[in-house]
Every structure is written in C-alpha cells, then in structure tokens.
Structure 1
Amino acid sequence: MKKKQLLFILGLSSVMTYAQKRFILPQNIAEKPKINEQISSAHLAPSVPLNHNRSLEEILCIQKYDLQTYNSMPNRVVNYGNGNISAGWMTGNDENGYPDRGTGCSNKKNSGAWSNFQRVEGDGIRSGFPSFTGLSDGTDVAITHQNTNSPPYNLRLMKRTTNATSWTSSFLPISKFPSNSGYVWPVITSGGADGKSLHVIAVNNDPTTARQLHYFRSQDGGNTWDISEKVLSGLDTSWLTVGAQTYNIDARGNTVAIGVFDSWGDVTILKSTDNGNTWNKYIALDFPLDNYITDSGYEQKDILSKHDTIGTQPLAIFTSDGCGNVHIDKNGKVHAFFGNAFVIDENLSNSSTEYFTNVSGISYWNESFGKDSIQLIADLIDEDGDGIFTTNGTIPNYFGHALTSFPTSGSDNQGNLFMCYTSVADGFYSDDQDAMYRHIYIISSKDGGKTWSNPYDVINKDLVDNDLLKYMEAVYPSIARNVDDKIHLVYQQDYAPDASVINTQIAVTDNNIVYLGINTSLLLVGNKEIELSKTPLSVSPNPTNNLMNIQYESIENEQSILRINDLNGKLIYQEKLINNGNSKIIDIHSLNNGIYSVQLITTNKMQVGKFVKM
C-alpha cells in the first residue's frame, strides 16, 4: 500500500501550502503546551538481539554519549569526491559528567574502508558540539567550543591535511568577550573562489549581554581571520537573543548563506554573493511579534494580523522548532528547511515560554518564494493508509522539537535536491521503554523544489539488518552537501527511544555512529503528482461571524472539493465545486467560535487557508 504523509496537528499558516492528507488526531496525545516535558516511563535498558548481521551500514564509533545537538544539526559530513569522505560527531564514554566529551572523526580514501575512530582534541581536553567542513585541497577542518567547565569559551579550529594522521589546532581571535564567556556552538562551512575560505557563525555566551550571532571569516584556510566577531546587518535587531544552535550556514564558491531558525523570531536567511563581504536579507517566515520579551504578554489580534498563526489555542503561534538547514545548489540558489512548531506564552509569571509537543511537519523555502512564504514538504507517514497515525505509549521529546525534525540537505551536479530528516515512525514501538521509535527519511526534488518525492525510510531491510528494524532508534542525521551517485549519511543509532543525556531517567546504553551510502536511484523515481501551491487561500473578513468570501487560484474547467475542518480534524463542511471561478461565499454563522482550516483540493493541487469564527 502506498504510504501517505500526514499532518499531525491542524496548525496551518495561511502562507503555508502543502500536498499531504489530513488525518485524525489521536485522543491519547494531550493538546497542552509544555515548558519542559518530563518522561516518566522507560527506566530500563532495552532488550536487543545479541547476534545479527548488518547490511550496508558501517559503524564508525560505539559510544555512550547520545546527544549531538540542541537544535539544528551542524555540518558533519564532507564528500570530496572519488570516494574520499570525512565525518565527525560528538563523542564521550565517561557517563560521570562526560569529562572526555570531544570530537570524534573518521575518514575513508578512494572508496576503501573507514579509518579507526580518532578523538580530534586528544586526551584531557573537553569540548562540545563540533562542526565539520573541508578545503579544496582535501584538508579536513573541524571547529568546536572549548573550556566547557569554566569561561571563557574559546572557538578551537582543528585541521588535518590530506593523508596526515594528526591534527593541528588554533583558536579564533576573540576580543569582545575575552574574560566573560566567549563564544559557543560554532558552525563552519567552506567556499571561496579557491575553496579555501572558511565561514563560521557562533553565539556569544556572556550572561550580561544578549546572545547574538557573530560571523568570522578566513580566506586562507584558517591561518588568518580578516573578519572576526561581526554581527551582520539584518541580524542585529531581529531578536533579543538567539537560541542555542538555532542556525546553520552553507557556502558554494563565493555564495554564502546563513539561516536563523529561532522559535521566537523570524525565520531569516542571509545571502552573500561576494564571499561574505555584503549580505542580503530574506524573511522566509515572518514571526508576528518583534523582539518579544518573555512574560510581557500579547493578544490574539497581535498575532492574527501577520497571517502566520494558528494553533490549538488562540494565542498559539506557528513558527520554527529551532532545527533548520540551509543549502546552496549548483546555480547559487538558496534553499532552507525547518521543523514546524507552535509556541505560546500563556503563563506570564514563570519567566519562561511554552511549546506544544505534538506538532509535526518540515517546511521549505527557496529564493523564488518571496517573503513570508513557505511550503510543507514532509510530515509523519501513515504506514497502513488508514488516515490515522497510530501511537503507543509516549513519544520521547528531543528538547521540544517537532515529531518530524533535524533536516539536513544536499544536491548533485544535475540539480537534484535531497532532504533528510528524523520522524517518529508509525508502528515502531518499544515495549521495554513504552515509547515510540524514530526513523530517518529522505525526500528528493528533480525540479528545484517545485515538487518532492515520497519519503524513503532509511531504516529498512535493504540497508540495515532486518532483525533489528523493530528495535532501532535513528536520530541526528547529517548528509554531505555534495551528493554524487550516493547520499552520504551519518547518524546516531541505538536500540532505545529517547536520549539519556536529555532524560536522565533512562539507562545509559551504547550508541552507534553509523555511515550509510545510499544510492540516489532509490530516491529519483518520480515526484508527487500533487503540486505544492505557493498561493494560499484568502478568507475575508477574517475573523468573521457570518458570511465569508474564500478566494483562491482559478479552478475554471476543473472539479474540486472545498473542505472545512476544526482543530480536532473533524470535517465540518464539504462541497464539490465545478467551474467555480476563483471565489466562493459561505455562511458560517452556525459554527462554534474557534479556528478552522480551509482546503481546496483539485486534481493536482491543494490550497490551504484558515479563518477565525468569533
């Protein structure tokens, strides 16, 4: 049976269009916002087969530390071509606070075997949250923040030349915060005309100063830095503070792209075409509250006016979950992806904001979309086609991220795009943990992001051992930005849902850092028949209490279905439209007050909107 993509919660922006089928919200999933969700189940280590044969997987490392990022996945895999690949990850085995936490790495040459695990920093140095890239001459480059037990936090750059076995280290120049806290959570990429420019973004960690994103650049492979600690124009006033790892960076030649995906700010893309000298700013998703201060409060009218807010409560705001990714294709076009989220600040006395735990979907943007315009291109998979995502027990919470999240992307020389992400897997459940597993999926586009393929579940019998399928938790994917005949994927795998670093109630177990080389032919088999419409439905007046006029793209000479659903997924209204032009007036006076979704479904397109009945 053909798998269907489903929207887990009917939380749709009027600027978000999608081509997936709605499904019914299970009753056992609470519709309440959480500050920090605590999972009370799963105290025991899982039961797994002791003997098994692996398929195409290659284990790079076995370790105890099971957290790879707080939000966006840093760049972790480099494909140099001709079978030369390098990969990095965060590693650690001393579960008593992980004083040995650091950067793990491995590489393969000429399609040979992977090298033995190597800890980049050497013994006695604790660091965190590495990011990887490579220079045009084959030099591996990693960056991490160091001195994690006391400030200042230095940005440690590590390099290993081709065929070398040892790494050299240096520190990026820091003058703004030399004695307070320095910088943390760096992300790195490489580019430039000669392939030897390094671009780094990181946030300051000074407790007395708002956390801002700072930019560093080297044009000689990290020997010197001609731009250091610069807050780029367009990022200086958009947020009061930038969350940990809510950003990503990519480069191709002299084109550089930065994406910021903080949940309480605009999804913002910066693009430079002169190797980081000047920048243009794009707003992929306009957050309705500018520079919001926690506990200051807002009203429904404050968030409806921007047409990007709908949720399970009137004050719920549609936004990014903090996990985002940017990619530059061979033509220099910037693509951005992020997990969906709803946030709220309902309790104005707890010095905190809240998020909803049951939201899903991966949103997509590229430069052709314009301002405040995104598309939903991936969501939960309905394995049995019954229109319901079946849940059992709990769904572990990875720092409040969407049920589909951690996007990572790449492209090949033919212009094909590939986006990989993690999703809760329908029908995969741990009896020991009383919790659901996550799998890794990949989708592709052969037309520059206009249409996307159906998801391909990486955790399948052709790639991993069939005996382990029902036990496998697969998270934190990272793919090389340069795709050839294979998608080069590194991810973290174990046999228990959740992460012990996040949820200390579960047992610490072994985790595998796994490499998979996935043939692109498995993905490039045809895209969806349904086109993603970039033009949303328009409903006026909105809010309304009587008659409303729905305007949409013309459907002349075409049959379509108009549907209205409430937030629980219940079908409220349905009508077939034939040769109905581009508008329809409906009387909704009998509806209960609340927020509703409108869908117009034609043969090859779906348009979506929303309205408020008051």
Structure 2
Amino acid sequence: NEDMGPDPGDGSNYVLIASAMDYNGDDALNTPESGTCDFPWGLYRGPITEKPSAGINAAGTIFMTYQTIDEAADTTLYSQSHKHLYMMTSSDGGNTWTYPMDIRRTVPGNDADFEECVFGVVGRNVTNEAVVLYQRDGAPGHALATAGTCDQANNLGNASDIVYTLVDALTVGTDNSIANNNFSVSQNYPNPSNGSTSINITLKKASSINFTVADILGKVVYTEQLDNLAAGIHTVTLNTGSWAHGVYTYTVRTADNAVTKQMIVK
C-alpha cells in the first residue's frame, strides 16, 4: 500500500501477513524428517511462503493468493510436504487481513492431501467470484530441479493440470477449523494489534484450557493456563506493546482438541 509511505528501517511501517499454518497447534511447522530428500518440501527458488498474486473488487477489497506448505497434507508417498494455494482478503488497503482459506480444499475432485498446488494467479477484477488459475500435480516441486533430487525424480515425465476455478468472494476469510463440538475461538480484535488485543473463547461445557502465542518461527512468547472455566464466553487480553512486529499464532487447547489462529502485531 503506497499510502503507507516508506519503511523507516525498523519494521514499523509494513504488515507481514502470510505464513504456513500450524494446523495441529503444536507451535511448530511439521515436515518430514526421513532424510530421503534434500529438502522436506519442493523448491521453487524462493522461501516456504511465496508467489503472491492479487485482484481487487469494486469496493476496494483486495483478494490475494499465495503458496505455502500445507501441514495437514499426507507426506508418506513422497517424503515431502505438499504446497497448497491459499487466499485471504483485506478491505482496508492491506492493514488487516482475513484468515487464510486453502483454495485446493474447496475444489472438488481428486485428493487434496496428495496434490501440489502452486503458481496461483488471481484475475485483476473481482466480482461476486474471484477467478484463480494455478498448476496442480501429484508430487512436490517440479521437473526443472537439480538432477537427482526428489523434486526432479518425482516430477520428470509426469503431467500437470492447469486448473481454472471460481472462488466465492463471500467465503474467503471464513475459517471452518476454528470451532469444534466443545468450544470456539474468535479472531483477535483489533487485528493488527497495536498495544493490546483480545480473543473470545466460547465454551459449551466447563473446561480447562491452555492458551499460547508463538511467533512466526514457532517460539512461544506467551502462555497461560486457565483451569475449571464455566461454560460461556471467556476473554483473553494480550498486552503486545513490547512484542516485535510481525505474524503470530495463538492456540487454545482443551483436553480434547486444539484450535490455532493467526494474528498480526504492529
């Protein structure tokens, strides 16, 4: 957003918005450790999270895709993590963003756990739906990799699909994983946090919960144990004024399940 002006060099004037999601809530990005491949994911001459593309609608809402590791995908076949295409939106010029949606898991056909979905492009003009093109095949990485690597061996001679899909603009930002039978977790507000932010946890039955916050590298920066809470809404307020700017994840755990969401600190 050029209206933000140049960054003074201390990280105070940019918004870090995207990262791989910690789906299982263990404060780590789980990738294969078999040693079979040089890297536990396919390489695209960039970082783990990469290749953004964006469109915009008449109201000024930005629709952005990017590719990153899907921690929930099955890794047994190739000993590498698959990458999927995610979409998120911003209605305030890029200052705040919705929860990422895995586009592949919304498209029917085949098995998302065994598919690599990369090189996403969003149509510039978004209406009721966002037009997205991406490349899809079975193996992590691509055939133009270094000879002898898993990327090259697993992709050489195999076909890829170019997928055209329409994403309902109203569904982006709806996180279906944030609720289970016993509790739900809200998005923190405000987001980004600028000194303080709050999260509502709704319990359907009396429970004890553990609440943790981790930075983008998985380092836990805050933890709190809340025992014997009654059914109902409970609010956790975080004082983030001394935290480094960037993306964090917060995780709520009960004896039965865990929910992880993303927040931004400015």
TM-score range, shorter chain: 0.5 to 0.7
The corresponding residue for 1:379 is 19
2:187 equivalent to 1:484: no
Aligned to 1:402: 47
Aligned partner (choices 425, 447, 468) of residue 111 of structure 2? 468
SS state at 2:104 partner: coil
The 2-side partners of 1:475 and 1:380 are apart by: 14
- Do 2:55 and 2:124's aligned partners in 1 also have CA atoms closer than 8 Å? yes
The yes-or-no answer on 1:454 pairing with 2:99 is yes
The DSSP-based 3-state class of the residue aligned with 1:513 is: strand
Secondary structure in structure 1 of the residue aligned to 2:132:
strand
Using the TM superposition, give the Cα deviation of residue 454 of structure 1 relative to its aligned residue in structure 2, in angstroms: 1.3
Shift in alpha-carbon separation, 1:583–1:439, aligned structure 2, 3 A: closer
CA contact (8 A) 2:240 2:265 kept: no
Question: Counterparts in 2 of 1:316-465, with a 5 A limit?
Answer: 373-393=13-33, 394-399=40-45, 401-460=46-105, 462-465=106-109
Deviation at 1:597, TM superposition (A): 5.4
Q: Could you tell me which of 169, 174, 177 is aligned with 1:520?
A: 169
TM superposition shift of 1:583: 7.9
Contact 1:392/1:429, CA 8 A, preserved across alignment: no
**Paired residue for 1:307?**
10
| TM superposition score normalised by structure 1 | 0.29
Cα offsets for 1:141-170 (capped at 9, x unmatched) = xxxxxxxxxxxxxxxxxxxxxxxxxxxxxx
CA–CA distance in 1 between the matches of 2:214 and 2:76?
38
Q: Hey, what does 2:160 align to over in structure 1?
A: 511
CA shift, 1:420, in A, is: 0.7
CA distance in 1, matches of 2:49, 2:96: 19
* TM-score when normalising by structure 2: 0.62
Name the CA shift for 1:515/1:395 in 2 (closer, same or farther; >3 Å). same
Query: How far did residue 469 of structure 1 move?
Result: 1.7
Give the match's secondary structure for 2:70.
Answer: strand
Residues 474 and 493, structure 1, Cα contact 8 Å, conserved in 2: yes
Alpha-carbon distance change, 282 to 449 in structure 1, aligned in 2, over 3 angstroms: closer
What letter matches 2:191 in structure 1? L
- How far apart are 1:532 and its partner, in Å? 3.2
2-structure distance, mates of 1:421, 1:583: 29
Q: In the TM superposition, what is the alpha-carbon distance from 1:570 to its structure 2 partner?
A: 5.0
Structure 2 vs 1, CA of residues 441 and 528 (structure 1 numbering), >3 Å: closer, same or farther?
same
SS at match of 2:65: strand
Q: Provide the C-alpha distance between the structure 2 equivalents of 1:407 and 1:598, rounded to a whole number of angstroms.
A: 21
Which amino acid counterpart does residue 162 of structure 2 have in structure 1? Answer: I
Does 2:189 match 1:530? yes
Partners of 1:583 and 1:490 lie apart in 2 by: 40
Offset, 1:409: 0.7
| 1:410/1:482 contact within 8 Å kept | yes
Kept in 2: contact 1:381–1:389 (CA 8 A): yes
Query: 1:175-229 CA deviation, whole Å, 9 max, x = no partner?
Result: xxxxxxxxxxxxxxxxxxxxxxxxxxxxxxxxxxxxxxxxxxxxxxxxxxxxxxx
Q: How far apart are the structure 1 equivalents of 2:173 and 2:240?
A: 35
Q: Deviations over 1:559-591 (max 9, x none)?
A: xx9x898x77255998xxxx9x9988xxxxxxx
Q: Indicate the SS of the match to 2:99.
A: coil
Once the two structures are TM-superposed, the CA of residue 414 in structure 1 deviates from its matched residue by: 2.4
Distance 2:133 2:240 in 1: 47
Q: 1:570 to 1:516 in 2, by over 3 A?
A: closer
What is the number of residues matched between the two proteins? Answer: 208
* Structure 1 letter corresponding to 2:144: V
Equivalent residues in 2 for 1:241-320, closer than 5 Å:
282-283=5-6, 285=7, 306-308=9-11
Secondary structure of the residue that 2:126 maps to in structure 1?
Answer: coil
Kindly state the Cα deviation for residue 436 of structure 1 after the two structures are TM-superposed: 0.9
How far off is 1:379 after superposition? 1.7
Deviations 1:335-366 (A, max 9, x none): xxxxxxxxxxxxxxxxxxxxxxxxxxxxxxxx
The 1-side partners of 2:30 and 2:196 are apart by 37
Question: What does 1:114-129 correspond to in 2, within 5 Å?
Answer: none
- Which amino acid letter does the alignment assign opposite residue 107 of structure 2? L
| CA deviations over 1:106-159 (Å, ceiling 9, x no partner) | xxxxxxxxxxxxxxxxxxxxxxxxxxxxxxxxxxxxxxxxxxxxxxxxxxxxxx
The answer as to whether partners of 1:374 and 1:534 remain within 8 angstroms in 2 is no
Could you say what secondary structure the match of 1:470 adopts?
helix
Contact 1:450-1:531 at 8 Å conserved across structures: no
Q: Computing the radius of gyration over CA atoms, which structure comes out larger, 1 or 2?
A: 1
Write the distance in 2 (CA, Å) between the matches of 1:385 and 1:554.
23
**1:503/1:570 CA distance change after superposition, 3 Å:** same
